Every structure is written in structure tokens, then in C-alpha cells.
Amino acid sequence: MMQTVTIQDEGDIVEARRVVRDFAKEMGFGIVDQTKIATATSELARNIFRYAGKGLVELQDVLSPHGMRAIFSDEGPGIENVSLAMQEGFTTTQGSLGLGLPGTQRLVDEMKIESTPGKGTKVIIFKKMP
Amino acid sequence: MTDKKMNVNPFEIIQTVNEPLIVLDEFLSIIFGNRAFDKTFQTNRSLIEGNSIFKICEGAFDTREVHESLEAILTCDVQGEGFQLEKEFPLIGYRIFIINPRPMRRYTEATEKQILIRFEDVTEQKKAEKTLKLKTKEILELSTPVTKIWDEILVLPLIGTLDSHRANQMMEQLLEVIRDTGARYIIMDGTGMGAIDTAVAAHMLKATSAVKLLGAQVIMTGIRPDVAMTMVHLGIELGDIMTRATLQEGVQYAMNARGYVIVPRQALELKGN
Amino acid sequence: MERIPILKLKNFLIISIQTDIHDMIIKILQEDILNKIIETHARGVLIDVSALDIMDSFMARTLRDSAIMAGLIGAKVVVTGIQPAVAITLIELGLKMNQVYTANNLDHGFEILNELITEEDFKNKL
Ligand SMILES: Nc1ncnc2c1ncn2[C@@H]1O[C@H](COP(=O)(O)OP(=O)(O)OP(=O)(O)O)[C@@H](O)[C@H]1O
Ligand SMILES: [Mg+2]
């Protein structure tokens, strides 16, 4: 099973979290995990919209280890210092909490960020099937 | 067996089989692949025939197990057990195959050894097994013994040793009961609770915050002295969680908060007279 | 653009968020609530989110900020009906909602608002 969602306007953030929830539900995740994955998606999709303008969400049903993978990629400005961006409270948006990335990490089992300044960002999250 | 039968080209038969099959020569190059193979791996006879099995499909079969089982057939002529190949294949993505190689020298005119390999796609089957395992686990999960003791007051006895998984599950079920009953006070009684570690304590703190988001309040009671000591040693703070020494006092607190007082009947009778 | 309706009942405002909505609409709701408080002199606001199966940091923060802002202009806010899975996710996400009053359902929400307002009136009389 595989699926993609394009992010290019604010409505797509809503669409992405709906698609992701349905995907997770279809795979057999419980309601709490569905909500966690959908919320993580919302945070990462909003980052794409906010910082890169547009990008792509790809969903995969991984068999071994059994779980769900979501890949968020964009060709935006990239992240200068990834470990700094992962810190709670770090933000380049005025009035934001800088909670998106560190919060998302707590909602999933694995999270990896690959980013090249000037080229783009790729965030990969994985939720294990319990 | 008649001669006529022997004259049938085995490849003709292989071609009609619905399962992916290939035939290798003794150098492990492909002599023949059937249509089902082409279809399954999205390849083409012209791309595979004459090539080493380890080269086709972008090296998808270049694994230790494939090497070992084919060498066993070439050197000892023994047919090994089928084995499982689980990986991301080019073009077709993640699949699990049972691969079954067997020597087939006897059925061809050729004298040199040939190997027939059968591929069975068990991806869907394995997926179904996993789902079934999951469902079974769900059924086996313990239910959480939440009891309603008064309007809007629940008691949750914490029993035995809690691990993170169980603590999570308990929190989830408790929250659902709160939502469904409209409870406002949850007495968590630790009298029967075993030892706890930092992870479980952290879960309990989270549970308390989640309960609050639903509009209810946790009252911790019966924290045994040894558990209290461990908590202090581990640096766990109960923060602003309401605590009472015993379950009875917890019940009293919740009743008071609901606007009830518990008084001895005598006191009422005296007044009444 | 669609707007979330705000109902007025006595000196309370009632809002029910029925479906998952995008950032812009929740921002507009925030403004609408504040304007309506000024316009109607409402003392309390109930926001029911029981139909929401997701609340990310943006929405939670906007609701929290609305509650704090409403407090500054004289109205108490109670958020009602947060779903269990949403509550667990918010805690894990790390968003602090300490300053926000919460209740299981609208009935409890009303009770809490009444208590809060009585308390406030009492203090003001002293
Ligand atoms: N896709 C991206 N492209 C470029 N920069 C990014 C991207 N995602 C995150 N960042 C950078 O990392 C910082 C931290 O992101 P994070 O999501 O944790 O917080 P935020 O978006 O600033 O605030 P919040 O998510 O709490 O509203 C951002 O401020 C931004 O500078
Ligand atoms: Mg963000």
C-alpha cells in the first residue's frame, strides 16, 4: 500500500491529516496511534507549507518491522542546523512555540531529518504497529 | 512413461504455469523464464535470458540465501527447503517470496544440470497473518477495572506491576470511561500496586494531565511507603496531583467536592429529635 | 470563507466545532469570539470540541490563547468534550493547557462557568 498527498495550500494540511488517519486506520492502528500519526502529519505538513511553500507527503505500509512510514519532502530553503531546529522552543516564526519538530518526535517511534540548505528538507517518520 | 511424453518440451509446460518459474543452467544463468515470472517481476524474457540470476532485476536475488541454496543443489544435488526472501524489489516494491529451487536434470534432453526455481508471492498472506496476530493480542489485552462508586466518581485500583504498555492501555481505557460516564473525580488507589519505575511514574503523570484535559481530576490514594520512597529516590514528583493517604479519605474528598458529607446516622437522629 | 457560528445564550457564548478545520478558520474564530464578547458583554464562553478527532499544536495553541485573551476582556472560557485520543496526543506533543478550564460536556461546562462567575462576583463585592 502506498499513497501520496501534495501540500501547496492550507487546505492540504487538513487533507493530509485526514488521508493519513484513514491510511493508519486501514492498516489496523488503534485510535490513539491514528491520532498521534495524524497530528504528527499536521505539524510536518504545516512546516512544509510555512517554510517551503509546497511539498509532498508519501505514505508507506512497511511490513518488516511492521508499521507505517511517512515521508515529508520539499524543495524549500532547508534547515541550517537540524539539531537546533529539533530543540524545543527553537523557531524562526515570530509567536510560534517551536514545538512542531520536537513534539512530533514524541508522537512517533522514529524520526529522521535530512536537509540541505538551499536544496530542501526531507523528514521521515515511522510508527511501529504495536 | 512413453517416448512421446518425453518429447514434450518442458518449457512449453512451464510456460503455462501460473506461478513464476525460471530455469537456470549450471552456471546459474537463466535459460528460460515463464510469462508469470515476467509479469510478477515486471521484466522481460529478453532482459533475463542468458544473464546470471544474481544480475537480473537489479540484483534482487543476489543474496546469501539464494547463493547458498543454489550452490547446495549444484554441489550435492540436494534440494533444500524453500526459503523466504523479504525485501524491497525494484519496480514492484516490498514483497515477501518463498523461493523453491530444485534440480531438474532428468526431464530434459540436456545432460548438464539445470535448476528450476519456483517463486511464491506470500506478501498478502504474511500481512493477513500479522493482522490476525494483532487482533488476537487485542482480545487478550486486559480490561481496566474502573468502577463507578457514586455519580461522577470513579475508582481505579492499580494492581500488580505496571509496565509502560499496560500503563498506556490503562490510561486509554480510563479516559474512555470518563468521556462516556461524565465522571469528574477519579480515585487511583495504589494499595495493591507493585514496584514502579520512572517510566511508569511518567506515564501516570501523563495520565493525570490527560484526565484533566477531559475535565476530571485525579486523586491518588494508598501510595505505599516503599513506593513513596522509590518515587522520591527516583526524583519523581507528583506535582500538583491531589493525594490522600487512604482510599477512604480519597472517597471522602471526592464526595465533599461533589457536595456530599458523610455523617454518622446518630448525628442526624439527634438533630431530628 | 466558511465561519464557525457563535450562539448566545443568556450571558454565555456557545461554540461547537463540528469538523476538522484549517488554520485560517480557527484564527477567524478567535477574532470573532473576542469581538462577540465585547459586543454582548458575555461573561462566559463554552467551546465544544467533542466532534474533533484531531487537535494539533496550532489549534490547541489558538484555543488556549483565545481563552487567555477572553479572560483579559472579562469572560471565562471552558473547553468541553476533548476526546481521549486527542488528550493523550496533546500531552505527548508537550503543549501546556494549564490555563484553560476544561469539562467533560456542556452541562459540566455550564456548572463550571457559573461557579467561576459567582466566585468572581463575590470577590468583586468584597
Ligand atoms: N520543511 C522545512 N523547511 C525549512 N525549515 C524548516 C522546515 N521545517 C522546520 N523548519 C525550521 O525549523 C524550525 C523549527 O520547526 P518547528 O516545527 O519545531 O517549530 P515552528 O514551526 O517554528 O513552530 P511551531 O511548529 O511550534 O508552530 C522552524 O522555525 C524552521 O526554521
Ligand atoms: Mg512547525
Q: Which of A101, A107, A114, A119 to mutate to test the pocket of ligand 1 (most atoms within 8 A of CB)?
A: A101
Verify that B121 and B149 share a domain, yes or no. no
Task: Assess whether B124 and B14 both reside in one domain.
Answer: yes
Shortest-distance ligand to the CA of residue A97? 1
Q: Is residue B138 assigned to a domain?
A: no
Kindly state whether residues B230 and B200 are assigned to the same domain: yes
- Residues of B at the C interface, defined by Cβ within 8 angstroms: 171-172, 175-176, 178-179, 182-184, 206, 209-216
Which amino acid, residue C94?
A: G
Give pLDDT, residue B7.
65
B147, B242: one domain? yes
Instruction: Give me the residues paired with residue A72 across strands.
Output: A57, A123
Q: Which chains touch A (3 or more CB pairs under 8 A)?
A: B, C
| Chain-chain contact of B214 with C102 (C-beta, under 8 angstroms) | yes
Cα maximum dimension of chain B? 117
B150 neighbors B131 (Cβ within 8 angstroms): no
Task: Answer yes or no: do B180 and B241 share one domain.
Answer: yes
C-beta atoms of B130 and A2 within 8 A = no
pTM above 0.95, yes or no: no
Contact C54 A100 (CB under 8 A): no
Query: What mean pLDDT value characterizes chain C?
Result: 94
Q: Which positions ≥6 away from B273 have C-beta within 8 Å?
A: none
> Which of these three, B96, B128, B160, is where a domain ends?
B128
The CATH number assigned to the domain holding B100 equals: 3.30.450.20
Question: What whole-number distance in Å separates Cα of residue C52 and Cα of residue B213?
Answer: 14
In contact, A33 and A84? CB cutoff 8 Å: no
Shared-domain flag, residues B122 and B22: yes
Residues A72, A46: Cα–Cα separation, whole Å: 11
* Domains of chain C with CATH codes: 6-125 (3.30.750.24)
Are B118 and B30 within one domain?
yes
Residue A39 and residue A20: Cα distance in Å, rounded? 9
Residue with cell 529522521: A112
Residue of B nearest to A64 (CA): B86
Nearest residue CA, atom 29 of ligand 1?
A91
* Residues B122 and B147 both lie in one domain: no
Q: Based on the domain organization, do B236 and B260 belong to the same domain?
A: yes
Asked if residue C50 lies in contact with residue C105, where contact means CB atoms within 8 angstroms, the answer is yes
Q: Is pLDDT at A130 greater than 90 in this prediction?
A: no
In-domain check, residue B134: no
SS3 call for B70: helix
Please say if the pLDDT value at position C67 is more than 50.
yes
What is the pLDDT, as a whole number, of residue B272? 57
CA of residue B159 to ligand 2 center, whole Å: 40
In angstroms, the CA B114 to CA B128 distance is 35
Q: Which chains touch B (3 or more CB pairs under 8 A)?
A: A, C
Pick from B206, B210, B215: which is nearest to C108 by CB? B215
Range of the domain at B69: 2-128
- The reply to whether B133 falls in a domain is no
Q: Are residues B107 and B83 in the same domain?
A: yes
Q: Is A102's Cβ below 8 Å from some Cβ in C?
A: yes
Q: For residue range B214-260, what is the model confidence (pLDDT) as tens digits?
A: 999 999 999 888 888 877 877 777 777 889 999 999 999 999 998 88
For residue B135, tell me if it sits in a domain.
no
The predicted structure's pLDDT at residue A24: 97
Which of B78, B94, B128 marks a domain boundary? B128
Whether B209 is covered by a domain: the verdict is yes
Q: Are residues B110 and B161 in the same domain?
A: no
Looking up cell 510456460, which residue turns up?
B15
Angle between helices B198-213 and C84-93 (to 10 degrees): 120
Among B95, B129, B130, most A C-beta atoms within 10 A, so best to mutate, is: B130
Distance of alpha carbon B116 from alpha carbon A99, whole angstroms: 57
- What's the whole-number mean pLDDT along residues B157-173? 85
> Is B211 part of any domain?
yes
Which of B94, B128, B162 terminates a domain? The answer is B128
Measured CA distances, B84 to B53, B64, B80, B126 (Å): 17, 12, 12, 11
Residue C24 — very low, low, confident or very high, per pLDDT cuts 50/70/90? very high
Q: B112 and B193: one domain?
A: no
Pocket of ligand 1 (CB under 6 A): A 43, 47-48, 51-52, 74, 76-79, 85, 90-93, 96-101, 121; C 57
More confident residue, C101 or B127: C101
The residue ranking higher by pLDDT, B199 or B95, is: B95
Interface test with B, best of C47, C59, C79, C82 (most B CBs within 10 A): C82
- List the CATH number of the domain containing B256: 3.30.750.24
pLDDT at B139: 60
CA distances from C1 to B110, B220, C4, C119 (A): 77, 48, 10, 39
Q: What's the total number of domains in chain B?
A: 2
